[in-house]
């Protein structure tokens, strides 16, 4: 991996990267997942940038879950457009099998900051900006139910591997959840969501605190934050991003012990908190007019699509509980 990463960095970054060897380059693993593996690559301390080349970058390789070129092209296109608008990490290069991105010295947003009024307003502003983007990808809002249906089909078709047992099995709960009438629930949800008239916009679709970075340099990005991990990004109903963000108030992922999160099911935002966020969202959405009627409509969208968020990540959780090698509380 080191030699390949070195060649990619030299090819796309040049400058001092041409003056070091593969062994000189600093390489560290950032994370390794089903959809991608991330590595930190840096010039050694003995070499300073001589032009505009970066000192360090993120070397991203697509994982085994990425099948086909459509996803790779779409994901790289989205990354490029976000980069140009400074709504995401800068893109340094796209190559077969991955890309080079800006390394942002930062920390993930803390759980308590999700509902901090100051951060809440900044998130609302950035979400409005993302929703206003015109991205040259498929515009029909099939992502939500197509994704849920695909996950459920995999749950139903799953055959246990006796040589690879679940790390933390829960047979009784597994039987109960897998006997759930997903088809009827999905049909009911489709009908309910169709009544709130949520428009279709370019959406992040996974806006949790872990996907919002707070850079060390507060001036590096507008509002001192940047959204990351657009792997689920697609055109979707506006209400989903709103409802999904609000449901994240209920889950704190900092628990160091199993199940590695805290569930606060009574922490869904109050009407006051929702309206504080939505008023700022409206202020930065040029196609929306301010006023109680608009607020009411967006609150309704958020509350309805919060149900869709719960169903989507419920199906995802069952699938991950059966197939993941992480000791994580998917069944809890």
What pLDDT, in 10s, does the model give residues 243-254?
A: 999 999 999 999
Residue 100 buriedness (CB in 10 A; 0-12 / 13-18 / 19+) = buried
User: Residue 28's pLDDT band (boundaries 50, 70, 90)?
Assistant: very high
Kindly report the pTM of this predicted structure. 0.92
Residue with tokens 């202020």: 283
In 3-state terms the chain splits into helix, strand, coil percentages (rounded to 5) of 45, 15, 40
Task: Give the integer Cα–Cα distance in Å for 312 and 147.
Answer: 8
Q: By three-state DSSP, how is residue 26 classified?
A: strand
Task: Give the integer Cα–Cα distance in Å for 95 and 98.
Answer: 6
Whether residue 306 has pLDDT greater than 80:
yes
Residue with tokens 């593996």: 37
Q: Report phi then psi at 187, rounded to 5.
A: -65, -40
E strands, the chain, where?
26-32, 36-42, 56-62, 91-95, 98-102, 106-108, 200-203, 212-215, 226-227, 234-237, 251-252, 262-263
pLDDT, the chain, mean: 93
Residue 162: the pLDDT is 83
Residue 310 buriedness (CB in 10 A; 0-12 / 13-18 / 19+) = middle
Residue 33: the pLDDT is 58
pLDDT tens-digit series, residues 97-111: 899 999 999 999 999
Domains of the chain, earliest start first: 2-102 (3.30.200.20), 106-323 (3.90.1200.10)
Among the residue ranges 71-80, 126-135, 217-226, the one predicted with the least confidence is: 71-80
Whether residue 324 has pLDDT greater than 90:
no
Alpha-carbon dihedral of residues 310, 214, 276, 198, nearest 10 degrees? Answer: -40
User: Residue 85's pLDDT band (boundaries 50, 70, 90)?
Assistant: very high
């Amino acid at each position: 991996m080191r030699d390949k990463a070195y060649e990619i960095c030299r090819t796309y970054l040049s400058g001092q990267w041409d003056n070091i060897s593969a062994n000189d380059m600093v390489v560290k693993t950032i994370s390794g997942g089903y959809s991608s593996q991330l590595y930190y690559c840096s010039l050694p301390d003995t070499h300073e940038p001589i032009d505009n080349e970066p000192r360090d970058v993120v070397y991203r390789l697509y994982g085994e879950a990425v099948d086909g070129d459509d996803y790779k092209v779409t994901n790289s296109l989205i990354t490029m457009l976000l980069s140009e608008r400074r709504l995401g990490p800068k893109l340094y290069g796209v190559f077969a099998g991955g890309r080079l991105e800006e390394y942002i010295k930062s920390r993930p947003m803390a759980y308590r900051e999700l509902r901090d009024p100051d951060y809440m307003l900044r998130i609302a502003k950035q979400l409005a900006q993302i929703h206003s983007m015109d991205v040259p990808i498929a515009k029909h809002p099939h992502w939500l139910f197509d994704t849920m249906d695909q996950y459920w089909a995999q749950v139903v078709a799953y055959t246990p591997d006796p040589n690879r047992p679940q790390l933390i099995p829960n047979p009784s709960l597994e039987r109960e959840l897998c006997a759930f009438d997903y088809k009827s629930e999905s049909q009911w949800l489709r009908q309910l969501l169709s009544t709130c008239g949520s428009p279709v916009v370019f959406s992040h679709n996974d806006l949790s605190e872990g996907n919002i970075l707070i850079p060390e340099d507060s001036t590096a990005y507008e509002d001192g934050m940047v959204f990351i991990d657009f792997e689920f990004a697609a055109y979707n109903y506006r209400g989903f991003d709103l409802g999904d963000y609000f449901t994240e108030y209920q889950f704190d992922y900092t628990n160091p012990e199993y199940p590695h999160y805290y569930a606060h099911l009574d922490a869904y935002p109050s009407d006051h908190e929702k309206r504080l966020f939505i008023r700022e969202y409206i202020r930065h959405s040029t196609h929306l007019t301010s006023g109680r009627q608009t607020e009411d409509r967006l609150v309704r969208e958020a509350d309805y699509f919060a149900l869709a968020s719960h169903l989507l990540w419920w199906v995802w959780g069952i699938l991950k509980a059966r197939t993941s090698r992480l000791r994580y509380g998917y069944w809890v």
